[in-house]
Amino acid sequence: MHHPSRSFINSIGTAVPDYVCTQSQAAEFMVDVLQLDEQDSRRVRALYRHTRIDKRHTVLADYTHPKEEFTFYPNTPGLEPFPTVRQRMEVYRREAVPLALRSIHDCFSRYPDFDPQTITHLITVSCTGLYAPGPDIELIEALRLPTSTQRLAINFMGCYGAFNGLKTADAIVRADPDAKVLVVCIELCSIHFQKKTDTDYLLSNALFADGSAAVLVESRPRPDQSFLLRSFYCDLLPEGKDAMAWHVSDFGFEMTLTAQVPIFIQQGIKQLMNRLLAQCCLTSDDVGYYALHPGGRRILEVIEEQLGLNSYDNRFAYDVLRQNGNMSSATVLFVLKEIWNELSSGLTDFKSNQPNILSCAFGPGLTLESMILEAVMAESVQAKPISEYSSASVQLL
């Protein structure tokens, strides 16, 4: 059935770099390069343990290799001379597009009936690197798309950037039902490590990682499974604008992330969700799944407190946080992919009266972005109730 003036996510792909850094490895890297005393070393190790992150991925081998084998940072005490913005942007130019291509190919492989040559628009989202001609043009060439493919770059919006990419894709597809929009988030957060001992920097160094995600948006759903983009809602909490910031400095991009961020989110999240739901004439009872951006453990906890959720409701975000850390704009798409995979597996209680997915992310501003998606499932693939599976198989979930 064709839905007039609607847009659907019809595939989601993800990719992470090959270098895997466990959280304990990352903590030891910090202790070593910051040359911390015993008390501060204990503090950093405790901070890393409490993040609920097991591992993160990075394009830089240095985080996983002994200091004497560094190839990006100098093999010197204090890492001097510390890499400049130029050196970091050279890594971005070299690594961003190959990683993005992996997430795009993953996206296409999950939708074999789709012809990539029919893509009409490409939207790239990133806040961790800039150059021109940029990743958008390199992706057009690498995918051998027509040179007439329309391009848009959404830059420097931080962790909520994917929402702007999806809102733009939604507007394009609603205006032109023949449009096929590829949205690609590419974030290499690990190239911006700052060797400062302020709590803000210790926290951001403990959370952020590299990753890419790609989604395909069309005006018609797939025969088997799609996510209908129902509604978006954005708000600003200007009183929190100093709590989260992202500035270009001489030695990379500097992230300010204070302990006040969860407090501001706590104050604004309930009203944001109520307004979003009201736009769709929905209540929280109509929401079956949550795709919350795992900005950090405490952010997830305050949202749960405010919205009356438990950690099981929020399992997709915790899973992505544990396996990947915070990959800025790409992260929420990883969470959506987890929900997509669970729905398509049939190992879930899909309730046709609760097909809605509530999603949100946060960033500089302090910006709160949110959206409602609706899982559109073909009758033949709608998930079987958990009760139909044996107790043995349920225990494996």
Q: Which residues are catalytic?
A: 159
Q: How far apart are CA 382 and CA 396, in angstroms?
A: 21
Q: Give Cα 367 distance to the centre of its chain.
A: 15
> Maximum CA pair distance of the chain?
65
Q: Give Cα 230 distance to the centre of its chain.
A: 20
Q: Give Cα 34 distance to the centre of its chain.
A: 28
Dihedral sign for Cα 292, 221, 139, 95, please.
Answer: positive
Nearest to 186 by CA among 153, 217, 216, 225: 153
Write out the E strands in the chain. Answer: 8-15, 19-22, 55-58, 121-126, 150-155, 181-188, 210-218, 225-236, 244-249, 252-257, 287-292, 356-363, 367-377
Write out the E strands in 100-171. Answer: 121-126, 150-155
Angle at 98 between CA 126 and CA 127, to 5 degrees: 10
Q: How far apart are CA 36 and CA 40, in angstroms?
A: 6
Nearest to 7 by CA among 120, 174, 205: 174
Is the backbone peptide bond immediately before 366 cis, with ω within 30 degrees of 0?
A: yes
Phi first, then psi: what are they for 44, rounded to 5°?
-65, -45
Q: Which helix (H) or strand (E) holds 30?
A: helix 23-33
Angle at 56 between CA 50 and CA 61, to 5 degrees: 130
Residues forming a β-bridge with 197? none
Nearest to 6 by CA among 231, 298, 308: 231
Nearest to 83 by CA among 65, 68, 71, 100: 71
